[in-house]
Amino acid sequence: MSIDRRIKIKIKMLEAGIIPAFNAREFKSMIASLSIEEKRIAKRKFRKLWRKLSKNSPDTRDLLADSENINPTDEQLINRPNFVILELAKTIKD
């Protein structure tokens, strides 16, 4: 992925109100700098965006969420940000 495309995706993430991180290390360092209230808001916005995007893609939703189990597995939680990033990347025109 080109640097220009990564920057465009990060801008799109900021516009959506989520933390612009591509990996767990980036995410942990960015979220550590937020206050407790800002962390809560950022997490809530991510969950809201995840639910919105998963409704448009039922196949992916079935992979990343269990219908019978309320709590997602660790693997599902790790893969959700990747799905959100890919969906945001699809909306960017080169």
Distance CA 63, CA 41 (A): 26
Task: Specify whether the backbone of 20 is left (phi greater than 0), alpha (psi in -120 to 50) or beta.
Answer: beta
Per-residue pLDDT tens digits for 45-71:
988 998 888 888 877 777 777 666 677
Given a cut of 80, is residue 15 above it in pLDDT? yes
pTM attached to this predicted model: 0.77
> What total of structural domains would you count in the chain?
1
Residue range 37-47, pLDDT digits in tens: 999 999 899 88
Query: What residue numbers bound the domain in which 43 lies?
Result: 3-90
DSSP-derived letter for residue 85 is H
CB 58 within 8 A of CB 81: no
